[in-house]
Amino acid sequence: MPLEVQMKAIEYMAAMQAPQAGDALADESYAKSIALQLQPVGRTEVASGGRRIDIQTEKGCTATVPREAVAHHTSASSLSTLLTHGVLVVRCWDRALQCLQSTREADDVLCTRR
């Protein structure tokens, strides 16, 4: 991938995770409870003080994994529920790919090669 494209992807990933005016404060204990519920999908970790939940998958990461994992494995009714608790991004990753799912917008997913 050209350097310019890589830099734009990095900038976009940082912007997805950056709090904006009006975002809820990060509730790290809530993020940790969601991460525990996501463990059937893969190894989980809470990052950025509760702003991001990471899922390391054995079965492979795709653009739909973060949203589907939240919908099928957690008590959160939607990505917007996570947003109300200050979680801004759910990220899955495997050996080849990482995908960041914004909780602000369900169609906002960025996947990059690792």
User: What would the mean pLDDT of 48-55 be, rounded to a whole number?
Assistant: 96
* Tens-digit pLDDT profile for residues 72-98: 999 997 899 999 999 999 999 999 999
The percent helix, strand, coil of the chain (3-state, each to 5) is 40, 25, 40
**Mean pLDDT for the chain?**
93
Please say if the pLDDT value at position 60 is more than 80. yes
Note the pTM of the prediction, 2 decimals. 0.92
Mean pLDDT confidence for 30-53 = 97
Instruction: Count the domains in the chain.
Output: 1
Cα dihedral value 30, 114, 67, 87, nearest 10: 30
The phi, psi pair for 101, rounded to 5°, reads: -105, 120
Q: Which domain holds residue 16?
A: 3-113
DSSP state of 95: S
